């Protein structure tokens, strides 16, 4: 057993990486097992290592406590076995709050206790075209947006001809599902780090049903699925901004049953040392809300819903006491498909409907006749009218109590979204022991207008009788 000292200083929730040389013959992806135990005081975590090509093996680790961590490897290959060392974990730098966790049943926070509210968007294949300029555009667009989560796929669709994919090979004829493509992952990892720098969570979609016999990735053997998941987790779990979305529109995949998905999600739960957020996203015709995955299952951390009707958020909160993230609520745009052509106003309206009921809604854009292709597919530029209004909503929500629904029930804060309705007044039940100022919020014109007088207890608040307004009441 060789002992080495690593002098690296790694920040809390940063990434320690150990690179080792080992055999390159045979199929190291399949033949070599490598795992390490990392220990700080009584805390032990055991991430798997992975083969990174060219005789290089790596183990990545995300320490979650400051202090000296010790590690030691175990491997089926003697060259890689028993490598030990230590490193110093230091305080996180500014902007590093750790991974996102569920808080108080319906909400989220970073591991350092900083509040996190997902304002998501979707760019399924933004890293897959091999177009660096477009990817830079995507990152610049995100940097100028209110979005702090991106849904993105690891696997290509039937229609794509990507220069590289997760597995060895580039076309269906030469795919080798027993080997991976480290270059694909290195590129993906760079982009995940770019997102991390922007404060954006990468909601990684591990499977999707848009393959239909082309690549065959939607219909692999159970061992192949797990082989793929283990490699992905070994490489990516140490990135603190990763979430696991087992599948997009899982119910459109005819080769897998709900029991299969249960097994695969549990497998991810078992492999991931850090317990990143885990969910699965439905696709069934959006009316049939009864076909949503049973989100009460213990291995699911949050409800990743597709539905057009954010008003159902109230029902979903009752159905499962987990955060509600409506990851697809239709996209702003002019696609010919019903899911991809709502107006900016309708998108903003749905955001307010969901947030005001205690859920989180995600954005997407699908304009089909502009300079860059649809944002939801390949990123690039955004053309819609909703994003800046979602930024406005985000500011409003950041000023809200952490549990704004409970505060609303307690009468200590109210955010009442009126939607298509235009009442001339509204009765609100406010706490008796405090004075409240009321503001009228125009969700489209982004104005906040104070209303007179100060309110207390049960109050009648006069309203302008216009649609798309919200009413906010906060303690003076």
From the CB of 472, what's the least distance to its own copies, in Å?
18
Distances from the Cα of 53 to the Cα of 28, 207, 261, 470, 476, angstroms:
8, 24, 30, 55, 62
What is the distance between the alpha carbons of residues 437 and 461, in angstroms, rounded to a whole number? 11
Say whether residue 333 binds its own copies (CB under 8 A). Answer: yes
Say whether residue 424 binds its own copies (CB under 8 A). Answer: yes
Say whether residue 465 binds its own copies (CB under 8 A). Answer: yes
Task: Please give the torsion angle defined by the CA atoms of residues 426, 430, 436 and 441, in that order, rounded to the nearest 10 degrees.
Answer: -40
Name which position in 346, 385, 410, 439 contacts its own copies (CB under 8 A). Answer: 346
What is the distance between the alpha carbons of residues 206 and 232, in angstroms, rounded to a whole number? 9
Q: Which is nearer to its own copies, 54 or 318 (CB)?
A: 318
| Bond preceding residue 380 cis, omega within 30 of 0 | no
> Going by C-beta distance under 8 Å and a sequence separation of 6 or more, which residues neighbour residue 409?
none
Task: From 104, 122, 182, 190, select the one nearest 404 (Cα to Cα).
Answer: 104
* Residue 274 near residue 13, CB atoms below 8 Å: no
Name which position in 342, 397, 415, 443 contacts its own copies (CB under 8 A). Answer: 342
What is the distance between the alpha carbons of residues 134 and 121, in angstroms, rounded to a whole number? 17
From the CB of 319, what's the least distance to its own copies, in Å?
14
Say whether residue 420 binds its own copies (CB under 8 A). Answer: yes
Say whether residue 213 binds its own copies (CB under 8 A). Answer: no
Look up tokens 């599948």; give the residue: 247
Say whether residue 335 binds its own copies (CB under 8 A). Answer: yes
Stretch that binds its own copies, among 119-127, 204-212, 265-273, 340-348 (CB under 8 A): 340-348
Q: Which is nearer to its own copies, 53 or 340 (CB)?
A: 340
Say whether residue 195 binds its own copies (CB under 8 A). Answer: no
Please give the residues from 359 up to 388 whose contact with its own copies meets the rule CB under 8 A: 367-369
* Residue 137 near residue 381, CB atoms below 8 Å: yes
Kindly state the tokens that stand for 414.
Answer: 């109210």
Size of the site for its own copies (CB under 8 A): 26
How far separated are the first and last CA of the chain, in Å rounded?
A: 66
Kindly state the tokens that stand for 352.
Answer: 């307010």
Q: Which is nearer to its own copies, 199 or 423 (CB)?
A: 423
Say whether residue 425 binds its own copies (CB under 8 A). Answer: yes
Q: Which is nearer to its own copies, 279 or 335 (CB)?
A: 335
Say whether residue 334 binds its own copies (CB under 8 A). Answer: yes
Q: Which is nearer to its own copies, 28 or 411 (CB)?
A: 411
Say whether residue 466 binds its own copies (CB under 8 A). Answer: yes
The site for its own copies (CB under 8 A) is made up of 333-338, 341-343, 345-346, 367-369, 420-427, 463, 465-467
């Amino acid at each position: 057993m060789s002992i080495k000292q690593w002098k690296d200083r790694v920040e809390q929730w940063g990434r320690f990486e150990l690179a080792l040389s080992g055999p390159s013959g045979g199929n190291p992806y399949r033949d070599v097992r490598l795992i390490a135990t990392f220990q700080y005081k009584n805390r032990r975590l055991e991430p798997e290592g992975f083969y990174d090509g060219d005789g290089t093996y790596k183990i990545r680790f995300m320490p979650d406590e400051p202090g000296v961590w010790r590690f030691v490897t175990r491997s089926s290959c003697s060259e890689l076995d028993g490598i030990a060392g230590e490193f110093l974990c230091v305080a996180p730098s500014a902007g590093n709050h750790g991974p996102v966790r569920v808080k108080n049943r319906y909400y989220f926070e970073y591991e350092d206790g900083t509040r996190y509210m997902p304002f998501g968007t979707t760019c399924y294949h933004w890293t897959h075209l091999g177009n660096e300029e477009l990817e830079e555009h995507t990152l610049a667009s995100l940097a100028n947006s209110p979005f702090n989560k991106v849904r993105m796929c690891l696997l290509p669709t039937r229609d794509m001809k990507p220069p590289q994919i997760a597995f060895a090979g580039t076309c269906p004829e030469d795919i080798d599902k027993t080997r991976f493509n480290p270059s694909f992952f290195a590129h993906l990892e760079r982009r995940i780090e770019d997102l991390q720098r922007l404060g954006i969570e990468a909601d990684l979609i591990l499977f999707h049903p848009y393959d239909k016999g082309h690549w065959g990735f939607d219909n692999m053997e159970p061992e192949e699925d797990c082989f793929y998941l283990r490699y992905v987790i070994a490489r990516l779990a140490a990135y603190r901004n990763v979430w696991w979305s087992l599948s997009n529109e899982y119910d459109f995949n005819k080769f897998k049953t709900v029991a299969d998905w249960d097994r695969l999600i549990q497998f991810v739960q078992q492999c991931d040392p850090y317990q990143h957020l885990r969910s699965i996203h439905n696709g069934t015709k959006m009316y049939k809300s009864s076909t949503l995955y049973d989100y009460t299952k213990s291995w699911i951390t949050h409800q990743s819903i597709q539905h057009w009707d954010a008003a159902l958020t109230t029902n979903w909160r009752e159905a499962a006491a987990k955060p509600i993230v409506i990851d697809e609520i239709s996209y702003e745009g002019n696609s010919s498909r019903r899911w991809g052509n709502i107006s900016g106003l309708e998108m903003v309206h749905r955001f307010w409907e969901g947030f005001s009921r205690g859920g989180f809604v995600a954005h997407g854009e699908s304009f089909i006749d502009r300079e860059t292709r649809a944002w939801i597919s390949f990123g690039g530029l955004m053309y819609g009218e909703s994003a800046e209004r979602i930024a406005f909503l985000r500011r409003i929500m950041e000023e809200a109590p952490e549990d704004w629904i409970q505060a609303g029930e307690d009468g200590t804060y109210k955010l009442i979204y009126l939607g298509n309705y235009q009442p001339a007044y509204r009765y609100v039940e406010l706490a008796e022991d405090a004075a409240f100022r009321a503001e009228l919020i125009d969700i489209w014109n982004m104005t906040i207008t104070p209303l007179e007088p100060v309110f207390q207890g049960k109050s009648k608040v006069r309203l302008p009788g216009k649609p798309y307004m919200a009413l906010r009441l906060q303690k003076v």
